[in-house]
């Protein structure tokens, strides 16, 4: 029996980028649910609320540069969660550009699977699912 399709959480302060990611993911048909947040703190709260109750892995599509709580700050807070919760999620970082500093920084966080350049595409969605 094959595993169920993953859930998707999109965290990006740009509403348009959230909308695009939702559409692209929905078009692939390979998803259980898609939800987006323009504020990382809201996403974190809902992950906390949900706890371990989850029927399939959730892919987090995470923007790096956001006001208030940026991508890295989100990952830091995420890695404080119980490991049973963390293991339900796979984080992928997205940005329109990246400097060496951010690249090096990413290596400090074990929960970040990979970095992709924006915009998200059908291919990126397929590749994220392959890596689960």
Contacting residues toward other proteins, per CB under 8 A:
13-17, 19-21, 23-24, 27, 38-39, 65-68, 95-97, 99, 118-121
Quick one: which of 87, 85, 69, 53 has its CA closest to 11?
Answer: 69
Nearest distance from C-beta of residue 114 to other proteins, angstroms: 18
Q: Please state whether the peptide bond connecting residue 73 to the residue before it is cis, i.e. omega within 30 degrees of 0.
A: no
| Closer residue to other proteins (CB): 88 or 92 | 92
Query: Which CB, 95 or 111, lies closer to other proteins?
Result: 95
Residue 59 near residue 90, CB atoms below 8 Å = yes
Minimum distance between the CB of residue 78 and other proteins, rounded to whole angstroms?
Answer: 18
CB of 68 closer than 8 Å to CB of 40: yes
- Residue among 14 and 30 whose Cβ is closer to other proteins: 14
Residue 60 or 61: the one with the smaller Cβ distance to other proteins is: 61
Q: Hey, is 36 helix, strand or coil?
A: strand
């Amino acid at each position: 029996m094959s595993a169920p399709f993953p859930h998707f959480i999109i965290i990006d302060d740009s509403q348009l980028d959230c909308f695009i990611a939702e559409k692209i993911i929905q078009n692939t048909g390979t998803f259980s649910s898609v939800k987006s947040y323009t504020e990382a703190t809201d996403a974190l709260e809902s992950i906390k609320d949900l706890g371990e109750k989850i029927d399939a892995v959730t892919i987090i599509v995470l923007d790096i540069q956001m006001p208030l709580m940026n991508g890295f700050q989100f990952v830091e807070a995420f890695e404080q969660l119980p490991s049973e919760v963390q293991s339900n999620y796979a984080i992928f970082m997205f940005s329109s550009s990246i400097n060496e500093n951010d690249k090096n920084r990413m290596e400090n966080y074990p929960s970040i699977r990979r970095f992709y350049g924006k915009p998200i595409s059908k291919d990126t969605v397929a590749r994220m699912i392959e890596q689960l």
